Amino acid sequence: METLHRQELANLLARPELRRLLEVFNGRTEETRVVGGAVRNALLGRPVTEVDCATTMLPDAIMGRAKEAGFKAVPTGIEHGTITVIVDGEPFEITTLREDVETDGRHAVVHFGRDFVRDARRRDFTINAMSLGLDGQLYDYTGGEADLAARRVRFIGDAHTRIREDYLRIMRFFRFHAEYAQGAPDPEGLAASGAERQGLAILSKERIRHELLKLLVAKRAEETIRILADHGFLTELLGGAAEFGRFGRVAADDRDSPVAIWRLAALAVGVEEDAERLRDQLRLSNDEHRKLAAYAELLSLLKTWSLPVDTAAIRRLVADHEPEALGIALAATAREPSPVVHEDAREALARYRSGTESVPVFPLRGADLIEGGVPKGPKIGEMLARARQAWLAEGCRTDEVYARDLLRRVLEQL
Q: How far is CA 293 from the centre of its chain?
A: 19
**379-397 average pLDDT score:** 93
pLDDT tens column, 207-257: 999 999 999 999 999 999 999 999 999 999 999 999 999 999 999 999 989
SS3 of residue 71 by DSSP: coil
What confidence category does residue 320 fall into, taking pLDDT thresholds of 50, 70 and 90?
very high
Judge whether residue 105 has pLDDT over 80.
no
pLDDT tens column, 16-53: 999 999 999 999 899 999 999 999 999 999 999 999 99
Q: Within a 13 Å sphere around the CA of 137, how many CA atoms are in the beta-carbon half?
A: 8
Could you tell me if 34 and 131 are in contact, meaning their C-beta atoms sit under 8 angstroms apart? yes
CATH among 3.40.50.300, 3.40.1280.10, 3.40.50.10420, 3.30.460.10 for 1-163: 3.30.460.10
**113-131 average pLDDT score:** 95
pLDDT tens column, 156-170: 999 999 999 999 999
Per-residue exposure over 77-111, b if at least 16 CB sit within 10 Å of its own CB, e if not: ebeebbbbbebeeeebbbbbbbeeeebebeebebe
Q: Please report the pLDDT score of residue 223 as a whole number.
A: 97
What confidence category does residue 388 fall into, taking pLDDT thresholds of 50, 70 and 90?
very high
Judge whether residue 130 has pLDDT over 80.
yes
Query: How many residues does the structure list for the chain?
Result: 414
Judge whether residue 108 has pLDDT over 90.
no
d(CA 189, CA 196): 10
d(CA 261, CA 266): 9
Judge whether residue 147 has pLDDT over 90.
yes
**248-272 average pLDDT score:** 96
**Average pLDDT value over all residues in the chain:** 94
Domain positions in the chain: 1-163, 239-359, 366-413
**CA 40 to each of CA 51, 168, 243, 272, 369: distance values in angstroms, whole numbers, following the listed order:** 11, 21, 33, 41, 63
Q: Please report the pLDDT score of residue 55 as a whole number.
A: 97
Q: What percent of the chain has pLDDT over 90?
A: 88
Q: What sign has the CA pseudo-torsion 199, 201, 207, 212?
A: positive
pLDDT tens column, 7-25: 999 999 999 999 999 999 9
SS3 of residue 1 by DSSP: coil
The amino acid present at 224, given as its one-letter code, is T
d(CA 327, CA 299): 11
d(CA 113, CA 127): 22
Q: Please report the pLDDT score of residue 79 as a whole number.
A: 80
d(CA 363, CA 155): 60
Judge whether residue 2 has pLDDT over 80.
no
Could you tell me if 53 and 145 are in contact, meaning their C-beta atoms sit under 8 angstroms apart? no
d(CA 348, CA 356): 10
Judge whether residue 269 has pLDDT over 90.
yes
d(CA 330, CA 335): 9
The secondary structure element, H or E, covering residue 312 is helix 311-320
Q: What percent of the chain has pLDDT over 70?
A: 97
